[in-house]
């Protein structure tokens, strides 16, 4: 038996030291003699620490955190190249509890023979349904109607009249897991669906009822534009002042992916000047969004604290994906959904992983 040691970042915990998000999959790891896990408690919130959430988004996993650790589960902290300066002779896998992994230096992980996996399928429905929720709220002008009702301004009903999704054009940037799920969800609304996704298969898109197009055409034709791409150097600020300037003045922009996909200052200006009709944002360039940010003073944008996709079901599903990946690694097997497949051919990674093959059940010991 070869003990496999797992560390989880401390932001999974609440101030009492318990899971802040209910069932995060740890029950699947209990009672297995070769598995040990603990939380990095120095990253956990402390009672009365009002600045914790401001610091949290800049926290990093340190070299001391991975000493003697074979598997690391990360929620919000960064995993930068510096963590490997002392080597990573024990670390085999990093699991990102979610879909995005832009805060992990994947290249450094590969160079240090560490596989990185995520949980893309656990989040695709929630992400897509959140985008649809925002589309409906924007189209029906739900926030404005709520405000009129609360303020007793029933005589202004006509001023907050909404519109239908039916017959409108939805533009999706990124036809990956959540993008395709959004296509499925909007089918009953009889929308025209366009997508900008350079690596998408045209035949596959056509089978979904989607027409692939250029970004320029998408910007000009979309009544609702929803972002569903990973944050990379190429996609960072894919929507800036020029792109916003090509959108219809009646168009709405939805972002449930990453805040850095949009030039936030340019979007703020476009909303202030009514260059576009409105937006719905669950993510921002700087998180947490400062309470005095100009976006908070606008009536044509819906804001959410990077939390709209979070449900008890999602935390359980992502937790189960993390537990399953760690259990596979603890048995000398490659986790599902590895985002740096190049590492799977590196002798150093294979040597580290093979140490744990002794933990497989006898009937599975010869399986690759």
State how far the Cα of 17 lies from the Cα of 37, in Å rounded to an integer. Answer: 15
Question: Annotated catalytic, 147?
Answer: no
Using the CB atoms, write b or e for 209-229: b if 16+ within 10 Å: ebebbebeebbebbbbbbbbb
What are φ and ψ of residue 50, in 5° steps?
-70, -20
Rounded alpha-carbon distances, angstroms, from residue 314 to 8, 73, 208: 18, 16, 25
Choose the catalytic residue: 125, 168, 306, 328. 306
- Sheet containing strand 278-281, strands side by side: 211-212, 192-196, 169-173, 224-227, 252-255, 278-281, 301-303
* Active-site residue (options: 285, 287, 355, 360): 287
Q: How far is residue 69's CA from residue 92's CA, in Å, rounded to a whole number?
A: 8
User: Looking at residue 290, what DSSP letter applies?
Assistant: P
Catalytic residue among 5, 65, 141, 258: 258
CA-wise closest residue to 158 among 148, 167, 150:
148
Answer whether 60's CB lies under 8 Å from 30's CB: no
Q: How far apart are CA 354 and CA 160, in angstroms?
A: 63
- Is 243 considered catalytic here? no
How many alpha carbons fall within 13 Å on the CB side of residue 130? Answer: 27
Burial of residue 206 (CB within 10 Å: 0-12, 13-18, 19+) is exposed
Q: Which two tokens stand for residue 362?
A: 């006898």
User: Is residue 221 among the annotated active site residues?
Assistant: no
The residues assigned a catalytic role are: 258, 287, 306
């Amino acid at each position: 038996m070869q003990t496999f040691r797992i560390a989880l970042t401390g932001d999974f915990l609440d101030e009492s030291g318990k899971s802040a998000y209910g069932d995060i999959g740890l029950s699947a790891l209990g009672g297995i003699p070769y598995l040990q896990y603990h939380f990095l408690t120095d990253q956990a919130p402390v009672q009365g620490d009002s600045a914790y959430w401001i610091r949290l988004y800049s926290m990093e996993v340190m070299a001391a955190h991975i000493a003697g650790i074979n598997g690391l589960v990360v929620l919000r902290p960064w995993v930068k190249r510096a963590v490997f300066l002392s080597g990573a002779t024990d670390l085999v896998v990093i699991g990102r509890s979610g879909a995005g992994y832009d805060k992990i230096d994947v290249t450094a992980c590969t160079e240090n023979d560490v596989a990185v996996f995520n949980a893309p399928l656990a989040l695709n429905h929630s992400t897509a349904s959140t985008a649809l929720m925002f589309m409906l709220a924007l189209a029906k002008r739900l926030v404005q109607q709520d405000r009129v009702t609360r303020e007793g301004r029933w005589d202004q009903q006509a001023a907050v009249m909404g519109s239908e999704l039916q017959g409108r054009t939805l533009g999706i940037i990124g036809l990956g897991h959540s993008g395709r799920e959004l296509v499925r969800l909007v089918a009953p609304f009889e929308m025209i669906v366009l997508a900008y996704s350079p690596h998408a298969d045209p035949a596959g898109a056509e089978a979904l009822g989607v027409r692939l197009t250029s970004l320029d055409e998408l910007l000009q034709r979309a009544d609702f534009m929803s972002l569903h791409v990973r944050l990379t150097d190429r996609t960072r600020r894919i929507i800036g002042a020029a792109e916003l300037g090509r959108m219809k003045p009646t168009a709405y922009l939805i972002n449930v992916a990453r805040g850095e996909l949009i030039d936030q200052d340019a979007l703020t200006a476009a909303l202030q000047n009514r260059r576009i009709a409105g937006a719905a944002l669950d993510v921002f360039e700087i998180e947490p969004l400062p309470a005095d940010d100009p976006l908070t003073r606008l009536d044509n944008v819906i804001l959410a604290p990077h939390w709209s996709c979070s449900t008890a079901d999602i935390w359980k599903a992502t937790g189960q994906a993390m537990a399953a990946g760690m259990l596979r690694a603890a048995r000398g097997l490659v986790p599902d959904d590895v985002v740096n497949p190049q590492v799977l051919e590196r002798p150093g990674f294979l040597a580290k992983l093979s140490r744990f093959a002794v933990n497989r059940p006898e009937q599975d010991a010869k399986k690759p």
